[in-house]
Chains A and B, each alone.
Chain A
Amino acid sequence: GAGVSQSPSNKVTEKGKDVELRCDPISGHTALYWYRQSLGQGLEFLIYFQGNSAPDKSGLPSDRFSAERTGGSVSTLTIQRTQQEDSAVYLCASSLALQTSGGWEETQYFGPGTRLLVL
């Protein structure tokens, strides 16, 4: 009955290295999101996967960022040639949209995040 899990919980890396962040969504949730949250800032949308559709990459800040979602479940966010400004908490969320009499509704369930520090 697990919620969304993310690994690692903390990552310290050197500038210029590549990092991979993992997200395990709630089983059965068709949508998966990646956000970035810098200290004292709001959630910055990065990328969104919905089922087998092409992902919405409109929030990725540069071509150093990429993400995959294999088999409609686990997702990996990769940051290449990390920079100090990439330091932030990276949050993953999953959701299942429900159609109600009032229209589509979704609630996002968040993981605990990965704290990335680029030295």
Chain B
Amino acid sequence: SQKIEQNSEALNIQEGKTATLTCNYTNYSPAYLQWYRQDPGRGPVFLLLIRENEKEKRKERLKVTFDTTLKQSLFHITASQPADSATYLCALMNYGGSQGNLIFGKGTKLSVKP
């Protein structure tokens, strides 16, 4: 069956450390993968997109990797801050999919302690 899984429901880290979140998928052939941030009581907000032929993408303190052999994307936040505390969702666009085939994971709740 097709699955998209994020490694843990919650991740607690100390301020200043690097947070690493995992997104694994099964039986999909993603054209690209996206990461979103969701704060309590708000809708998700787009952060980064990485295509299947890209290994790594960076934006400020954020880094995303995409390994199509492992069928995995890693999302890193370096020098984490309490303001980074939120739920992070991965979403993939399956090959052959037109609009409407963006599939979301359940999210990982990140808490950064001062």
Contact A50 B100 (CB under 8 A): yes
Which B-chain residue is minimally distant from A6 (CB atoms)?
Answer: B43
> How far, in Å, is A88 (CB) from chain B's closest CB?
13
> How far, in Å, is B84 (CB) from chain A's closest CB?
19
Contact B98 A104 (CB under 8 A): yes
Cα–Cα distance between A32 and B44 once the two chains are bound (Å): 15
Cα–Cα distance between A91 and B100 once the two chains are bound (Å): 15
Residues of A within 8 A of B105 (CB): 42
Residues of A within 8 A of B51 (CB): 102
A33 at the interface (CB under 8 A from B): yes
Residues of B within 8 A of A56 (CB): 100
Residues of B within 8 A of A108 (CB): 44, 46, 91, 102
Q: What is B's interface to A at a CB cutoff of 8 Å?
A: 9, 31-32, 34, 41-46, 49, 51, 53, 89, 91, 93, 98-100, 102-107
Which A-chain residue is minimally distant from B47 (CB atoms)?
Answer: A107
Cα–Cα distance between A56 and B93 once the two chains are bound (Å): 16
Most buried by B among A97, A107, A108: A108
> How far, in Å, is A40 (CB) from chain B's closest CB?
8
Contact A4 B100 (CB under 8 A): no
Contact A42 B100 (CB under 8 A): no
